[in-house]
Amino acid sequence: MTSTPTKIQFKDNVHGPDKVPITLNVNGSFYTLEIEPRRTLLDALRFDLNMTGSKKVCGMGECGACTVLLDGKAVYSCLTLAIECEGHKILTIEGLSQGQNLDPIQKSFIDEEASQCGFCTSGQIMSIKALLDNNPDPTPEEIRRAMSGNICRCGAYLNIFKAATKAAADYRKQRPAKKNGNKNGEID
Partner 1 sequence: MAKLIKSKLNWEGTTFERMSVVGDEEPAAWPAGEQLNYVGKSYPRVDGFQRVTGLAKYTFDIQLPGMLYARVLRSPYPHARVKQIDVSKAQEFPGVRSVISSLNDGDVFSNVLQFAGDEVAALAADNDDIAEDAINLIKVEYEILPFNTDTEPHPVSGKPQDNQTVAPLDDHPRIYRRGNIQKGFQEADVIVEETFRTQFALHNSLETHGAVASWKGDELTVWESTQSIYNVQRYVAEYFKLPLNKIRVICEYMGGGFGSKQSSGKWSLMAALLARETGRPVQLMLTREEENLATGHRAPTVQKLKLGAKNDGTLTAIDLVATVNVGANGSGARAVGGSCQSMYKCPNVQTEVHSVLTNTGPHGSFRAPGYVEGAFPLESLMDELAKRLKIDPMDIRMKNYALTDPTTGQNYSAKHLDKCYQRGAELIGWSHRLSINDKSPVLRHGYGIASQTWGGGGGPPAFAWVRLNSDGTAEVNPGSQDIGTGVKTVFAQIAAEELGLEPDKIIVHIGDTAQGPFGPGSGGSMTLASVGPAVRQAAIDARKQLYEVISGYFEVPADQIQIRKGHVYVLGEKKPRISLQNTLRQLGEFTIIGRGARGANRDGIAVPTFGAQFAEVEVNTITGEVKVQRLVAVHDVGRIMNPVVAKGQVAGAVIQGVGYALTEERIIDRSTGIVLNPNLEDYFLPTSLDIPAIDSNFIDESDIDANILGAKGIGEPPIIPTAPAIANAIAQAIGVRFLSLPITRAKIVEALQTTGIAGGVYP
Tell me which residues touch partner 1 (CB under 8 A). 17, 36, 38-39, 43, 46-47, 50-60, 62-63, 65, 92-94, 96-97, 102, 106-107, 109-111, 113, 115-122, 125, 144-145, 147-148, 150-161
**146 near 127, Cβ under 8 Å?**
yes
Helix, strand, or coil here: 90? strand
Shortest approach of partner 1 to residue 89 CB, angstroms?
Answer: 18
Asked whether the CA dihedral 99, 64, 165, 134 is positive or negative, the reply is: positive
Shortest approach of partner 1 to residue 30 CB, angstroms?
Answer: 20
Whichever of 57 and 87 has its CB closer to partner 1, that residue is: 57
Shortest approach of partner 1 to residue 154 CB, angstroms?
Answer: 5
Whichever of 5 and 17 has its CB closer to partner 1, that residue is: 17
| Cα 18 from Cα 5, distance rounded (Å) | 19
Whichever of 80 and 106 has its CB closer to partner 1, that residue is: 106
| Cα 103 from Cα 94, distance rounded (Å) | 11
Shortest approach of partner 1 to residue 179 CB, angstroms?
Answer: 27
CA dihedral 22, 36, 52, 142 (to 10 degrees): 80
Shortest approach of partner 1 to residue 54 CB, angstroms?
Answer: 7
Whichever of 59 and 87 has its CB closer to partner 1, that residue is: 59
With residues binned 3-state (H G I as helix, E B as strand, rest as coil), the percentages for the chain, rounded to 5, are 40, 15, 45
Whichever of 46 and 89 has its CB closer to partner 1, that residue is: 46
Alpha helices in 36-87 (DSSP H): 41-43
